[in-house]
Structure formats: structure tokens, C-alpha cells
């Protein structure tokens, strides 16, 4: 039985446009469900001055999510009115394995007295880390949506649908699209992690998203959260530019030392002839002679009994934004990670990574922290109901 790695590369020929990923359940889809080839994070300012307005937003957003993830014919309206749908996918929408995952930002809670005391325990405004060059226009937000699907058209269609459907409640602030390469099936059926834009397999050591007790421990809200938040998860989003021109001129041995893994197979450097799923043995290399102490994987997860509490589930996408004014390629990683405690996981790990040699090649420019709402059930339930009922 292969581990279910949400960062596994999507396999060619499996991108079924008719596939429905159910939006219903104790948890939202798009967190532990397989990651398809395309994704986007969009961040919004929320217009809701009272609980009734927020409930209205949640209910209408839920309706759109149910339609967009199931697909079907788009309603025909009087031609004197604007059409119900953008039409970019034709008159019948296909579900395309799409998921739409909604998270709430710190500013939603901070700006509203009636939400006081209901903020998730470790939700905060993202602050600058050592290597960050944060651009205000692409940071934070009251509410963020992660869109995922087999094709970018579906992701873009879903965003346009939500922007059109909720103009009185949601104002778009920023959005970043991303994708991961689709690879041919391997003859031995082995699952491989998708490669990032630095050419390395990204996701090899990701926790097994099919391991329910593990996900309960590291991804879903724990006992420290307000009751309404049960079933939710913290979503850390980072837009991290990759300085690819510089990277492509860096010797292979240096690239591998920076990550601590071989570029071709993804095997840890102390298992050079092995595979990406091999586990590094840091106890056999206490001084970092083979796997440098400041390599990305050793800092991110030193694999000590203590560091087990810092685990997170990563679900990143690559992005390609064209060319910057200075002629440099604007490419990078739309880093997305889910965890049960933001401080214990993402923030603690990022602090350990501060100063790592990889920083010479990356520049975090945007993102934010959000609390992915608990899931909702079929038939009248809506996203965020438990929060509204707790007010």
C-alpha cells in the first residue's frame, strides 16, 4: 500500500474532468484530498458588519462551492440580464476534481467586536521573517480561498464565479495561481513527488495524508481551539520567489547539499543510491559530514523526538508569473501547509529555517495565515455555521 502523499505528482491520463471530490464532511476538501495539477490562492476583504451579514456570506459561498464542485448545466437567464455564468467552460460545467477550501484571516476577527473571543488560538497576522521582502499588496486578507482542479480553466472559472456572485460581501485583494507538472505513469506503479522549479522533488517526506490518526494529530484542530473550530486547520500560505537564474548557475553538488537530497531521485544524501522515500539517519551523521546540519531537510525536520510536534502537511504549487521589470524571471513556490497549531508547526519550522543556505536563492514576498473552516454536511448545512452559532 503506497502512502497517500498529497504532494505526489499527478499522473498523466488520470485527470478525469468528470471526477467529483465531495465538498461534504467533517473537514473541508482540498486539505488531505489528493492535490491535482492546478491550484490558486485568492485573498479577499470581507464586507460584513454584523453576524447576519457574515452568515449570509457563508451561506451563499457554500451554495457556490456545492455547485462548482459538482458541476452541471448553468442556469439560463433572461437574455436581457447578464448571463448566470461566465461561460468560459461552456454551458455544462464539469467538476474536474475541483476543491474550494475557505480560510479566515486574523483581520476578520480583529476588526469585529462580535467575534471577540472566537479567534482560533494561534491565528495571527503573518509577520516578517529574516529573509522576507513582503509586498503589502499580496499579503494577508480577511478570507482566503484555495482553489484546486485538474485544469487551470476550472480554477479560474471558479474564482470568477465567486467574484461575480458575492460582490456585496467579498472584495478580491490578491490571487496567485500555480501548478505542478503532470508526469507519465511509471511502469512499476511507484508514486513520485512533483518537482518544484528548482528541479527537486518536493513532498518526499510529507506525512501520509491517508493516515487518519496522524492527520488528527498534526493537521486538524486540537483541544486548545474554541469548540466552533473543531474539524478545521491552520493554512499557512507563502508566495516564495525562486531566484532561478542564479540557481541554474549553481553547481549540482551545491544544490544537493543545500537541500540534503539528490536532484535526480530525491533520495536523501546519506542514501544516495536509494529512493526519495528513504529516511535519512541523522544519528549516524551527528556532525553533518554527509547531510549538512544546515541543509533544508535537516533544519526543517531534524527527526528528534522533540521535532515530531512540528510536523505539517505541505500542499504547494509552482508558479510562473512571467518576467519582472528588470528582466528576471518571476517564478517560485506557492507554499501551502496545513497544521493543527500554527506556532508549533509552520512558525517554529520557519524560524529554524531562518538563515539557511537556501535563502540565497529564495525570497518570500507574500502570503498570509488563515484558519480553514470545519467542513459542512449535505442538506442545509453551510460552511462556518459553528462560528455563527457561537456568536
Ligand X SMILES: C=CC1=C(C)c2cc3[nH]c(cc4nc(cc5[nH]c(cc1n2)c(C)c5CCC(=O)O)C(CCC(=O)O)=C4C)c(C)c3C=C
Residue ranges that bind ligand X, judged by CB under 6 A: 196, 198, 200-205, 238, 240, 242, 259, 261, 296-297, 300-301, 333, 335, 346, 349-350, 353, 362
CA distances from 360 to 196, 258, 321 (A): 17, 10, 20
Strands 233-242 and 170-179: unpaired
Indicate the residue among 151 and 339 with the shorter CB distance to ligand X. Answer: 339
Does 261 belong to an annotated binding site? yes
Indicate the residue among 69 and 350 with the shorter CB distance to ligand X. Answer: 350
Indicate the residue among 2 and 227 with the shorter CB distance to ligand X. Answer: 2
Does 203 belong to an annotated binding site? yes
d(CA 373, CA 120): 10
- 300, 352 Cβ separation under 8 angstroms: yes
Backbone angles phi, psi at 57, to 5 degrees: -60, -50
Does 79 belong to an annotated binding site? no
Min separation Cβ 141 and ligand X, Å: 19
Indicate the residue among 28 and 350 with the shorter CB distance to ligand X. Answer: 350
Min separation Cβ 249 and ligand X, Å: 17
In degrees, rounded to 5, the angle at the alpha carbon of residue 346 between the alpha carbons of residues 282 and 136 is 135
Indicate the residue among 109 and 335 with the shorter CB distance to ligand X. Answer: 335
Indicate the residue among 62 and 310 with the shorter CB distance to ligand X. Answer: 310
- 147, 160 Cβ separation under 8 angstroms: no
- 336, 350 Cβ separation under 8 angstroms: no
- 159, 176 Cβ separation under 8 angstroms: no
Torsion of CA 147, 151, 152, 155, to 10 degrees: -30
Min separation Cβ 218 and ligand X, Å: 11
Indicate the residue among 155 and 362 with the shorter CB distance to ligand X. Answer: 362
Min separation Cβ 207 and ligand X, Å: 8
According to DSSP, residue 122 is labeled T
d(CA 282, CA 288): 8
Min separation Cβ 240 and ligand X, Å: 4
d(CA 65, CA 376): 11
Give Cβ neighbours of residue 342 (< 8 Å, ≥ 6 apart). Answer: 122, 123, 124, 234, 236, 369
Does 204 belong to an annotated binding site? yes
Backbone angles phi, psi at 352, to 5 degrees: -65, -35
Min separation Cβ 330 and ligand X, Å: 13
Indicate the residue among 59 and 303 with the shorter CB distance to ligand X. Answer: 303
HEC letters along 160-185: HHHHHHCCCCEEEEEEEEEECCCECC
Min separation Cβ 360 and ligand X, Å: 12
Does 301 belong to an annotated binding site? yes
Indicate the residue among 324 and 377 with the shorter CB distance to ligand X. Answer: 324
Nearest residue to 259 (alpha-carbon basis) of 201, 191, 308: 201
**DSSP string spanning 235-286?**
EEEEEEEE-HHHHHTS-HHHHHHHHTB-TTT--BGGGTTS-TTPPP-GGG-T
Min separation Cβ 302 and ligand X, Å: 9
Min separation Cβ 306 and ligand X, Å: 14
Q: Extract the C-alpha cell encoding 289.
A: 559530514
Residue positions in the annotated binding site? 203-205, 261, 296, 301-303, 314
Residue positions in the annotated binding site for heme b? 203-205, 296, 301-303, 314
Residue positions in the annotated binding site for protoporphyrin IX? 203-205, 261
Amino acid at each position: 500500500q503506497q502512502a497517500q502523499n498529497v504532494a505526489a505528482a499527478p499522473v498523466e491520463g488520470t485527470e478525469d474532468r468528470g471526477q467529483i471530490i465531495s465538498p461534504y464532511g467533517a473537514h473541508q476538501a482540498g486539505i488531505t484530498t489528493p492535490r491535482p495539477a492546478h491550484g490558486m490562492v485568492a485573498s479577499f476583504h470581507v464586507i460584513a458588519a454584523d453576524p447576519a451579514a457574515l452568515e449570509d456570506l457563508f451561506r451563499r459561498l457554500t451554495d457556490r462551492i456545492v455547485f462548482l464542485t459538482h458541476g452541471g448545466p448553468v442556469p439560463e437567464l433572461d437574455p436581457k440580464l447578464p448571463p448566470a455564468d461566465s461561460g468560459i467552460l461552456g454551458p455544462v460545467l464539469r467538476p474536474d476534481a475541483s476543491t474550494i477550501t475557505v480560510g479566515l484571516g486574523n483581520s476578520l476577527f480583529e476588526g469585529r467586536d462580535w467575534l471577540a473571543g472566537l479567534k482560533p488560538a494561534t491565528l495571527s497576522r503573518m509577520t516578517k521573517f529574516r529573509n522576507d521582502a513582503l509586498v503589502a499588496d499580496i499579503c494577508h486578507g480577511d478570507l482566503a480561498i484555495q482553489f484546486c482542479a485538474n485544469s487551470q480553466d476550472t480554477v479560474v472559472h471558479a474564482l470568477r464565479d465567486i467574484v461575480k456572485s458575492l460582490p456585496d460581501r467579498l472584495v478580491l485583494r490578491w490571487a496567485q495561481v500555480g501548478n505542478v507538472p503532470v508526469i507519465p505513469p511509471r511502469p512499476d506503479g511507484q508514486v513520485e513527488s512533483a518537482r518544484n522549479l528548482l528541479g527537486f522533488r518536493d513532498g518526499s517526506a510529507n506525512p501520509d495524508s491517508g493516515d487518519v490518526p496522524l492527520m488528527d494529530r498534526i493537521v486538524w484542530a486540537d483541544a486548545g481551539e474554541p469548540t466552533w473550530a473543531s474539524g478545521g486547520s491552520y493554512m499557512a500560505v507563502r508566495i516564495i520567489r525562486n531566484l532561478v537564474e542564479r540557481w541554474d548557475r549553481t553547481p549540482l553538488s551545491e544544490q544537493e547539499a543545500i537541500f540534503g537530497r539528490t536532484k535526480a531521485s530525491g533520495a536523501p544524501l546519506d542514501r544516495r543510491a536509494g529512493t526519495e522515500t528513504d529516511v535519512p539517519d541523522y544519528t549516524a551523521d551527528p556532525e553533518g559530514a554527509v547531510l549538512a546540519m544546515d541543509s533544508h531537510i535537516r533544519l526543517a525536520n531534524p527527526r528528534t523526538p522533540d521535532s515530531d510536534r512540528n510536523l505539517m502537511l505541505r500542499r504547494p504549487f509552482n508558479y510562473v508569473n512571467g518576467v519582472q521589470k528588470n528582466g528576471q524571471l518571476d517564478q517560485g513556490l506557492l507554499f501551502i501547509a496545513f497544521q493543527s497549531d500554527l506556532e508549533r508547526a509552520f512558525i517554529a519550522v520557519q524560524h529554524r529555517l531562518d538563515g539557511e543556505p537556501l535563502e540565497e536563492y529564495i525570497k518570500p514576498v507574500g502570503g498570509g495565515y488563515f484558519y480553514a473552516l470545519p467542513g459542512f454536511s449535505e442538506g442545509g448545512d453551510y460552511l462556518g455555521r459553528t462560528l455563527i452559532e457561537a456568536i
